Every structure is written in C-alpha cells, then in structure tokens.
Amino acid sequence: MNVVAITTLMERNNLMKSMIVTGFIFAIVLANVNLLAKVTAETGVGKDVFKVIVTLFGITNSTKDIVTIVNVKDQTKIKLFNAQNPESQDQDKVSYTMTFPNLTVNAGDPYTVCTVSVGDFKLNCIKGKNSPLDRPEFVDIDKSGASSEVKAGSSKD
C-alpha cells in the first residue's frame, strides 16, 4: 500500500468515529429534552401531585366528629376526625393531606374545602385558588368557639 491510500483510509476512519460520537451525543440530547421543561403548578403526574393540607385547630374535649371535604375540578376527598378515637384525644389540632393524583390542576384553578361538625351540622366552606408555585396548598380551619370560623392559608387570593 502506498502512503496516499493509507492516509485516505485513516481520514475515513476518523470521519466515521466522529460521526458515531456525534450521533451518540445527539441521541442523548434528544432523550433528555423533556427534563429541561419548566413545571408550573401541579400536573398530577409523577411526584407532582396536587395536594391540599388542611389543619383543624381549636379542638377541645367537647368537639364532636368533624367531616372535612376537599373538592377540586370533578374530584372530592373526605376525611373524618373521630373525637372518640383514643389516638385523637388530647389533641388541640389535627392535619390532613388530601392528594389528587392523575389530575392536572393549573395555576389559578379553584378548589373548595368544607367542614361539617356533627355538633351543629353547619357547612363551613372556603374557596382557594391553586398557586403558581410547585407546593401544596394550605388551609387552616379554626373549630374553637360556638361558630366555626374558617380561615385560608397562604393560597387564598
């Protein structure tokens, strides 16, 4: 073989290696493009599940059972605070995390939190809006006193 043939063969070999490396880099970039997308509000997919954390406080020994209802879009979750439960006695507050997986909730979408006490059967509701931040929504409900005062957390607009 002469020098020209060897040089041409080496150039083709280097060109082929460069094309293979470039192809791998391109494939890796295409595979990870979706990781670069910015997430806003909760999408309901994977770890990004819409959550509402409801805290009932002002609970006394005379507090009756309390039903907490959270509604967002077409889904509703219910939790019962059982005053007779030995684990809940001597507590002045209780907190529930209501999760809504597989539900896309955009920033500004409304949700409603209601409580009903067995003592008076009054429905107390508060409306909130999903914040644009990627975090749970917080709702604090004061059950002390004759009338159940409902207060919203930082998510109320």
> Mind listing the pLDDT tens digit for each residue in 19-63?
776 766 766 666 665 544 444 555 555 566 899 999 988 887 677
Q: What is the pTM of this model?
A: 0.61
User: Chain-wide mean pLDDT for the chain?
Assistant: 76
Amino acid in position 13: N
Question: Minimum mean pLDDT among 24-28, 135-139, 153-157: which range?
Answer: 153-157
**Contact of 138 with 155, CB cutoff 8 Å:** yes
Contact between residue 89 and residue 66 where contact means Cβ atoms under 8 Å apart: no
Residue 134's pLDDT is 85
* Across 77-89, average pLDDT: 78
Q: Tell me how far apart the alpha carbons of residues 139 and 96 are, in angstroms, rounded to a whole number.
A: 10
Compute how many other C-beta atoms are within 10 angstroms of the C-beta atom of residue 139.
27
- The secondary structure of the chain as a DSSP string is --HHHHHHHHHHHHHHHHHHHHHHHHHHHHHTGGGGSPP-SB-SBTTB-EEEEEEEE---TT---EEEEEEETTEEEEEEE-TT-TTTTT-SEEEEEEEETT--B-TT-EEEEEEEETTT--EEEEEEE--SSSS-EEEEEE--SSS-EEEE-TT--
Pairing between strand 50-57 and 137-142?
A: parallel
Q: What is the pLDDT of residue 68?
A: 94
Q: Rounded to the nearest 10 degrees, how much is the dihedral formed by the CA atoms of 113, 116, 117, 118? A: -150
pLDDT band at 83 (very low <50, low <70, confident <90, very high): confident
What is the end-to-end Cα distance of the chain in Å, rounded? 81
